Amino acid sequence: MSKAVRFSRYGGTEVLEVVDVDDRPPAAGEVRVRVVTAGINPGEAPIREGANSAHPATFPSGQGSDFAGVIAEVGDRVDSLKVGDEVIGFSDWRNAQAESVTISADHVIPKPHGVDWNAAGALFVAGTTARATIDAVRVRRGDTVVVAGGAGGVGVLATQLAVLAGAAVVATASAPNHAFLTSIGAIPVEYGKGLVDRIRKIVPDGVDAFIDAHGAGNVELGVALGVDRDRINTIIDFAARKKYGVKADGMSTVEPREALITLAHLLANGELQLPVYATYPLERVRAAYEQLSKGHGLGKIVLEVTPAP
Ligand SMILES: NC(=O)c1ccc[n+]([C@@H]2O[C@H](COP(=O)([O-])OP(=O)(O)OC[C@H]3O[C@@H](n4cnc5c(N)ncnc54)[C@H](OP(=O)(O)O)[C@@H]3O)[C@@H](O)[C@H]2O)c1
């Protein structure tokens, strides 16, 4: 048996429990992973609260899509993985926040040695979404790109992918996160009143593409900056998408395995960083989501589930 996050009714963080569950042995084509780290994401809260009608829960429900760990068991017909291999995983079944995850072998990729466990366990959702946003607005060398929410889990990766693509990137964030954004080659700008004028002053020749990784009026900001609507992408403001005819590509629009392999190699090479601003043991999953709900911080919050090898 091992510990896993479960909830059995909709509600706030109080419905989250860490319970003992049976480890499921891997069937053919599956592996069982001892999870070392697991990420948490804002989109998990509305599912738990019953506020996401497109993705209702079934009870008892597990939680989480991001994880990294060590292969503990290998099912039949899995040739590419062996016990002891270090992997980064991605789950479509809300079961990542657990000491043991049994999953299709094609939902793990090798963890490159240079990738630390916290970044590995938090990479999937933020990373694939960042990739989707960059592709959606077709970032090209020489472009000027604004990333709204540039310090968040998605934004901090989208900012770096845009810099790597050769764009000049203006990233909106609060002052405490500016030094990091500068260090990764972006131009930070404080969000809030007067933002459109601050951005115009920084990039007087205009903005070619706009990535909204925060919502709350940022699509309107992209429109006000004169960006072509098919080069504005939001991952959260679906009402604004409809109103302004902008794009809303998210994680489901990229091939996850291929994207994850590329992102993991960029992390290993030091070309990409995924900062982690808080860690919690699995037992404190409620506290982790309470901190996440405050909506501020650089990068990701990670659950440290079992000791790293
Ligand atoms: N469509 C999809 O496929 C998809 C996938 C993943 C996530 N999402 C959604 O995308 C959003 C971002 O996800 P995430 O994981 O990046 O969230 P996150 O890491 O929790 O984002 C927190 C960040 O938001 C920033 N922020 C707070 N207020 C802001 C404002 N007024 N303007 C700009 N930035 C502000 C904070 O920066 P400071 O600390 O500097 O305040 C902080 O870094 C969430 O709503 C999530 O549900 C959608």
Q: Which residues belong to CATH 3.90.180.10 in the chain?
A: 2-123+274-304
| Per-residue model confidence (pLDDT) at position 175 | 98
**pLDDT tens digits, 147-157:** 999 999 999 99
Token representation of residue 36: 């070392």
Q: At the top level of CATH, which class does the domain 2-123+274-304 belong to?
A: alpha beta
Lookup result for tokens 């989480």: 64
User: Residue 151 and residue 167: Cα distance in Å, rounded?
Assistant: 17
The overall average pLDDT reported for the chain is: 98
Q: What is the CA radius of gyration of the chain?
A: 19
Which residues contact residue 164 at a Cβ distance below 8 angstroms, ignoring those fewer than 6 apart? 266, 271, 272
- Give the residue whose CA is nearest to atom 20 of ligand 1: 295
Strands 144-148 and 168-172: parallel
117 CB neighbour count, 10 Å cutoff: 22
Mean per-residue pLDDT for 213-233?
98
| Per-residue model confidence (pLDDT) at position 288 | 98
> Does ligand 1 come within 6 angstroms of the Cβ of 234?
no
Distance 307 CA to ligand 1 centre (A): 29
Q: At the top level of CATH, which class does the domain 126-252 belong to?
A: alpha beta
Distance 84 CA to ligand 1 centre (A): 35
Q: How far is CA 248 from CA 65, 84, 103, in A?
A: 21, 39, 29
Q: How far is CA 128 from CA 176, 259, 263, in A?
A: 26, 6, 8
| Per-residue model confidence (pLDDT) at position 103 | 98
How many C-alpha atoms does 128 have within 13 Å on its Cβ side? Answer: 21
pLDDT-derived band at 93, boundaries 50, 70, 90: very high
pLDDT-derived band at 173, boundaries 50, 70, 90: very high
205 touches 225 (CB < 8 A): no
> Does ligand 1 come within 6 angstroms of the Cβ of 213?
yes
> Does ligand 1 come within 6 angstroms of the Cβ of 254?
no
**pLDDT tens digits, 42-88:** 999 999 999 999 999 999 999 999 999 999 999 999 999 999 999 99
**pLDDT tens digits, 236-266:** 999 999 999 999 999 999 999 999 999 999 9
> Does ligand 1 come within 6 angstroms of the Cβ of 174?
yes
Q: Which residues belong to CATH 3.40.50.720 in the chain?
A: 126-252
| Per-residue model confidence (pLDDT) at position 114 | 92
> Does ligand 1 come within 6 angstroms of the Cβ of 191?
yes
74 CB neighbour count, 10 Å cutoff: 18
